[in-house]
Amino acid sequence: MLAHKGFEGVIQGATLADLIQMECLALTTRAVRVDGGASTSGRLFFTGGQVVHAEVGEVKGELALFEMLRWPTGSFTIEEGVRPIDETIERDWHNLLLEAAHHADEIAHSATLSPVVPLPAPKTPADVMNETFNDPEILQAARFTEDGTLLAGKGADPESLQCTFAYIIQLLRHVGTSLGAENLKEINLIAPEQKALCLVSEESTTVLITTAKANFTTIAKKLA
């Protein structure tokens, strides 16, 4: 078998698009083998100054051409007298190179964009309550409505805690009414080893028995 005559070369300081432009302007009819490194190679076929076929492995046509145009470096071998079995490319070479350049610009632009970090979903009141009840500084807890429905609890006997503070709230409301301060919002009880925080709102009442070092201001802001 006779070896194909022709030149071999390495593209330096130029791109495969430059090679395609030169071949088309020269109105050549031949094949060019392109090696992209890492055992990756393909072929371009020219007829009368147009790209009529491209192949990279099993990929044919424009997809194969665009694949080779994405290779950053490579070498080429001109193969005279080699004709394609099929002509899979019909578009003018100018349009093909313009589309390849457009794709390259889109990829470069995407690479410069900062990744979008999704914002965490806002916490619901139930999430905040669960987080507070799970705080190790909270020893016992109860949350209940004005009509006595227990909504959440922590500890061995949240019902007793609810009953105790429901009575305390009613008692302090009577005292507050006589003093003109019936709008009760918060109760703080402090003992040497434990403390109690009771927060009263129109929707519910929350009672927390905490360690002595718990920060009531931080807890109240979180539950506000």
- Dihedral (CA of 132, 135, 137, 143) sign: positive
Q: Where are the domains of the chain?
A: 8-112, 125-223
**pTM flag (> 0.85):** no
Q: Which CATH class is domain 125-223?
A: alpha beta
Question: What local confidence, expressed as pLDDT, does residue 1 receive?
Answer: 36
Largest CA distance in the chain: 116
pLDDT digits (tens, 9 = 90+) for 184-221: 888 899 998 999 999 998 889 999 999 999 999 889 88
Angle, vertex CA 216, rays to CA 211 and CA 218, nearest 5: 115
Give Cα 70 to chain centroid, integer Å. 26
pLDDT digits (tens, 9 = 90+) for 121-167: 787 888 888 888 899 999 999 999 988 899 999 998 999 999 999 98
Beta-carbon neighbour count of residue 144 at 10 Å?
Answer: 22
